[in-house]
């Protein structure tokens, strides 16, 4: 007798698409495309002793950036546009007044900063300054450092900072340490 | 004699939907990978400013978020910018406790790596942001991140942030 093999019934996959759609819609609703990116900063610790030390820093080593309540920019006591800030900050950091920085290409202006290690950028804002202006100013100052580091990296190693080894990156960060001080908010008015 | 065949209506075969689940699964996996789970329901409107020198936040589990902006429900909370901590609106004074509690949840070895991400609306005044920063300093949470949207270039950023 010929025995007929019984076929296993195929599972109906027609509803697979529906299930997948259901999952898809669930994920669309509960998740966001929000990418977490931003400007990393470090706040100074609260320390009373530090205020006395600050006075010893020479005036020429401080690059003063003040933003008032009308979002106007005052850099080194002069009015400035946001677009010029990066260039001015780069000139200040890279100035190398005492000649101790071998990698710098600045103007060696004796009235500006001694070397990048001593150059301090001080940002102060008014309580009425809008947050986005503050972010823009901070961004431009970080950009000034990043541009200088990128330039040095290209001259010295012939590659972009992103492609450097850990050691080379440390060297670059050593030449141009990022020193941006955020003064406590004051009433500047305007 | 040749007999003429009658024209039979030719049926178009149905489009195979067998690969539909595959396509949908592909979409599903894309969304699972590219998106993140919503942590909180936003009670404040946050329209983040733009910036170019942005860095990605690594280690999501070490990040605590503080949202600042005008309340979405203006009839209930008014129009003055508020601070949102987790799922509720708080005041600046609550920030310190909030951050300390959030830090307790991280294991001890990694506590110094904790980052506080400030997601603030571009229109918020610096007075409020500075107050929050002071609170963070008091809480010894010194690593912060100003959450921003990526901008294409500096000129575009300045124009959009004016």
Instruction: Write the DSSP string, A88-150.
Output: HHHHHHT--TTS--SS------TTS-S-TTT-EEEEEEBTTSBHHHHHHHHHHHHHHHHHHHH
- Residue B86 inside a domain? The answer is yes
Predicted local distance difference test score (pLDDT) of residue B1: 53
Which residues 32-91 of A have a C-beta within 8 angstroms of B?
32-46, 67, 71, 82-83, 86
Residues of B in contact with A127 (CB under 8 A): 125-127, 130
Mean pLDDT across B125-137? 88
- Which residues 6+ apart lie within 8 Å of A10 measured at CB? none
Measured in residues, chain B has a length of: 162
Predicted local distance difference test score (pLDDT) of residue A32: 75
Predicted local distance difference test score (pLDDT) of residue B4: 65
The two structure tokens encoding residue B48: 């983040």
Which residues 90-149 of B have a C-beta within 8 angstroms of A?
115, 117, 120-127, 129-130, 133-134, 136-138, 140-149
From first CA to last CA, the distance across chain A in angstroms is 104
Percent of chain A scoring above 90 in pLDDT = 0
pLDDT band at A13 (very low <50, low <70, confident <90, very high): confident
Residues of A in contact with B145 (CB under 8 A): 38-41
Whether B62 contacts A149, CB under 8 Å: no
Cβ–Cβ pairs < 8 A, chains A and B: 169
B33-37, B76-80, B132-136, B147-151, range with the lowest pLDDT: B33-37
Q: How far is the C-alpha of A130 from the C-alpha of A72, rounded, in Å? A: 10
Whether A60 contacts A111, CB under 8 Å: yes
> What one-character-per-residue DSSP string does B90-136 give?
E-HHHHHHHHHHHHHTS-GGGGGG-EEEEEE-TTSBHHHHHHHHHHH
What angle do the packed helices B20-34 and A16-30 form, to 10 degrees? 20
- Residue B11 inside a domain? The answer is no
Which residues 111-140 of A have a C-beta within 8 angstroms of B?
125-136, 138-140
Residues of B in contact with A16 (CB under 8 A): 21
The two structure tokens encoding residue B14: 């149905």
Percent of chain A scoring above 70 in pLDDT = 88
C-beta atoms of B53 and A139 within 8 A:
yes
Predicted local distance difference test score (pLDDT) of residue B2: 57
Residues of B in contact with A24 (CB under 8 A): 24, 27-28, 31
C-beta atoms of B121 and A131 within 8 A:
yes
Percent of chain B scoring above 90 in pLDDT = 4
In B, minimum Cα distance to A45 occurs at B137
- Residue A42 inside a domain? The answer is no
- Structural domain boundaries, residue B112: 44-161
Mean pLDDT across A34-57? 72
Q: Is pLDDT above 80 for A49?
A: no
A20-24, B11-15, B134-138, range with the lowest pLDDT: B11-15
- Residue B3 inside a domain? The answer is no
- Residue B61 inside a domain? The answer is yes
Beta bridge partners of A180: A121
Question: pLDDT tens digit string along B2-25?
Answer: 566 666 678 888 888 778 888 888
Query: How many domains does the structure of chain A reveal?
Result: 1
Q: Is pLDDT above 60 for A1?
A: no
- Residue A11 inside a domain? The answer is no
The two structure tokens encoding residue B8: 């039979």
Q: Which of A28, A37, A139 sits opposite B57 (nearest CB)?
A: A37
Whether A38 contacts B145, CB under 8 Å: yes
C-beta atoms of A38 and B147 within 8 A:
yes
- Structural domain boundaries, residue A84: 58-182
- Residue B37 inside a domain? The answer is no
C-beta atoms of B134 and A33 within 8 A:
no
- Residue B17 inside a domain? The answer is no
Q: Mean pLDDT across chain B, nearest whole number? A: 84
Q: Which of B31, B52, B144 sits opposite A24 (nearest CB)?
A: B31
Q: Which of B32, B123, B141 sits opposite A130 (nearest CB)?
A: B123
pLDDT band at A61 (very low <50, low <70, confident <90, very high): confident
Q: How far is the C-alpha of B92 from the C-alpha of B107, rounded, in Å? A: 26
C-beta atoms of B146 and A125 within 8 A:
no
In A, minimum Cα distance to B144 occurs at A41
The two structure tokens encoding residue A45: 């610790």
Mean pLDDT across A146-172? 86
Query: How many domains does the structure of chain B reveal?
Result: 1
Cα-based angle B70, B61, B64 (whole degrees, multiple of 5): 25
Indicate which of A11, A21, A22, A39 best probes the interface with B, i.e. most B CBs within 10 Å of its own CB: A39
- Residue A129 inside a domain? The answer is yes
CA distances from A106 to A52, B13, B39, B114 (A): 30, 75, 48, 37
A68-77, A147-156, B32-41, B46-55, range with the lowest pLDDT: B32-41
Nearest to A133 by CA among A70, A89, A63: A70
- Residue B23 inside a domain? The answer is no
CATH number, domain containing residue B103 = 3.30.420.270
Mean pLDDT across A57-65? 82
**C-alpha torsion angle, residues B30, B47, B143, A116 (rounded to 10):** 110
What number of other Cβ atoms are within 10 A of residue B129's Cβ? 25
Nearest to A97 by CA among A86, A81, A88, A109: A109
Predicted local distance difference test score (pLDDT) of residue B110: 87
Mean pLDDT across B132-138? 88
Predicted local distance difference test score (pLDDT) of residue A185: 62
Predicted local distance difference test score (pLDDT) of residue B20: 83
Examine the predicted complex and report whether its ipTM is higher than 0.90: no
- Residue A33 inside a domain? The answer is no
- Residue B25 inside a domain? The answer is no
* Helix, strand, coil fractions of chain A, as percent rounded to 5: 40, 15, 45
Q: Which residue has the higher pLDDT, B94 or A13?
A: B94
Predicted local distance difference test score (pLDDT) of residue B122: 87
CA distances from B41 to A78, B67, B70, B76 (A): 44, 11, 14, 16
């Amino acid at each position: 007798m010929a025995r007929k093999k019984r076929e296993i019934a195929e599972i109906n996959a027609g509803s697979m698409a529906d299930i997948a759609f259901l999952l898809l819609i669930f994920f669309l609703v509960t998740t966001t495309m929000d990418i977490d990116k931003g400007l990393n900063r470090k706040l100074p610790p609260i320390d009373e002793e530090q205020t006395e030390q600050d006075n010893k820093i020479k005036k020429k080593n401080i690059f003063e950036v003040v933003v008032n309540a009308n979002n106007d920019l005052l850099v080194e006591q002069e009015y400035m546009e946001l677009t010029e800030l990066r260039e001015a900050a780069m000139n200040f950091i890279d100035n190398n007044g005492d000649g101790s920085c071998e990698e710098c290409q600045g103007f060696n202006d004796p009235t500006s900063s001694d070397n990048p290690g001593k150059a301090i950028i001080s940002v102060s804002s008014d309580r009425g300054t809008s947050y986005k202006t503050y972010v823009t100013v901070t961004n431009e100052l970080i950009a000034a450092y990043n541009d200088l580091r990128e330039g040095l990296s290209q001259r010295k190693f012939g590659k972009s900072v992103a492609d450097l080894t850990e050691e080379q990156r440390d060297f670059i960060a050593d030449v141009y340490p990022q020193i941006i001080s955020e003064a406590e908010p004051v009433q500047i008015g305007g | 004699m040749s007999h003429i065949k009658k024209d039979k209506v030719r049926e178009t075969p149905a489009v195979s939907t067998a690969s539909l689940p595959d396509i949908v699964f592909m979409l599903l996996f894309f969304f699972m990978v590219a998106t993140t789970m919503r942590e909180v329901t936003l009670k404040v409107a946050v329209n983040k400013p733009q910036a170019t020198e942005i860095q990605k936040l690594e280690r999501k589990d070490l990040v605590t978020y503080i949202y600042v902006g005008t309340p979405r429900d203006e009839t209930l909370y008014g129009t003055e910018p508020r601070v949102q901590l987790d799922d509720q609106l708080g005041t600046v004074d609550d920030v310190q406790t909030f951050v300390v509690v959030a830090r307790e949840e991280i294991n001890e070895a990694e506590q110094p790596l904790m980052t506080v991400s400030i997601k603030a609306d571009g229109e918020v005044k610096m007075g409020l942001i500075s107050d929050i920063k002071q609170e963070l300093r008091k809480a010894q949470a010194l690593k912060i991140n100003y959450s921003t949207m990526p901008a294409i270039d500096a000129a575009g950023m300045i124009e959009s942030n004016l």
